[in-house]
């Protein structure tokens, strides 16, 4: 038997006064499934900057994944959003779940200003759209915890393991409730997407990424790296 290969899939807990987070529900739903030959290890992260990098590094060390997909909620976003880039900056528009609001601060001093996701984003986008799931490539994951997770993961993985971030819309029930925490993003007529559609989207992201990621002598690579 060949050794089991794993994909690490993370979601975030609820934040901003909302009762739930679709990314946590998707990570829990796919935990333990085998997708594209990889056993999915689904984990839910706290929405807190303190300890985030260490937690991600621990998860990588324990899981030794061949693929890492992080996910989070983007209230107000109508489609599946495939993040191209993580930036070395934290500037929170609201406090994290430990009450900490970071302004204008690099995530890691001395690290690069930005790192590119290493997933085959065009192929993923094409597969989602072919399945009838609206999706787009995005050039900013924000300056909050989702961007921080993407940046820390890309820094830790050093391009050796394909890694990227998927932002998910709000759940219909979140929009129906009119949002939480006094934020406008979830108020009607805000967009939403069914949990089943989002789960299928993340499943397809895993499948396409697992299919194109190939081991090379220099480590893992996926099909994005053509230069202009
Ligand atoms: N979304 C937030 C953090 C947690 C989440 O699910 C973000 O976009 O940064």
- Does the pLDDT of residue 107 top 70, yes or no? yes
Torsion of CA 188, 199, 20, 142, to 10 degrees: -70
Choose the residue to mutate in 19, 142, 149, 169 for probing ligand 1, maximizing ligand atoms within 8 Å of C-beta.
Answer: 142
So what's the pLDDT on residue 214? 54
| Residue from 83, 125, 152, 163 carrying the catalytic annotation | 83
Mean pLDDT calculated for residue range 215-228: 48
Q: Over pLDDT 90: what percentage of the chain?
A: 83
> Nearest-5° angle of CA 119, CA 216, CA 153?
40
Number of alpha carbons in the 13 Å side-chain half-sphere of residue 67: 31
Measured between alpha carbons, how far is 149 from 154 in angstroms, rounded to an integer?
9
The pLDDT, as a whole number, for residue 63 is 97
Its pTM stands at 0.92
Give the binding-site residues of ligand 1, using a 6 Å CB cut-off. Answer: 12, 15, 21, 23, 47, 72-74, 142, 144-146
For 46-61, what is each residue's pLDDT tens digit?
Answer: 999 999 999 999 999 9
pLDDT at 179: 54
């Amino acid at each position: 038997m060949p050794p089991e290969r794993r994909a690490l899939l993370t979601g975030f807990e609820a934040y901003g006064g909302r009762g739930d987070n679709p990314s946590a529900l998707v990570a829990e739903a796919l935990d333990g499934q085998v997708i594209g030959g990889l056993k999915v290890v689904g984990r839910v992260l706290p929405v807190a900057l303190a300890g985030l990098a260490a937690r991600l590094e621990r998860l990588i060390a324990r899981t030794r994944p061949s693929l890492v997909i992080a996910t989070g909620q983007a209230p107000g976003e109508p489609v599946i959003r495939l993040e191209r880039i993580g930036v070395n900056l934290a500037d929170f528009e609201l406090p994290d779940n430990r009450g900490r609001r970071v302004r204008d601060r690099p995530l890691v001093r001395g690290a690069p200003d930005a790192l590119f996701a290493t997933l085959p984003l065009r192929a993923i986008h094409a597969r989602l759209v072919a399945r009838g799931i609206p999706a787009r490539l995005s050039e900013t994951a924000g300056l909050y915890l989702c961007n921080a997770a993407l940046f820390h993961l890309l820094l830790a993985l050093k391009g050796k393991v394909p890694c990227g971030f998927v932002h998910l819309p709000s759940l219909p029930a979140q929009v129906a409730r009119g949002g939480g925490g006094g934020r406008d993003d979830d108020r009607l007529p805000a967009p939403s997407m069914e949990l089943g559609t989002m789960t299928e989207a993340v499943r397809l992201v895993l499948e396409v990424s697992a299919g194109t990621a190939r081991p090379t002598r220099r480590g893992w690579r996926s099909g994005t790296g053509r230069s202009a």
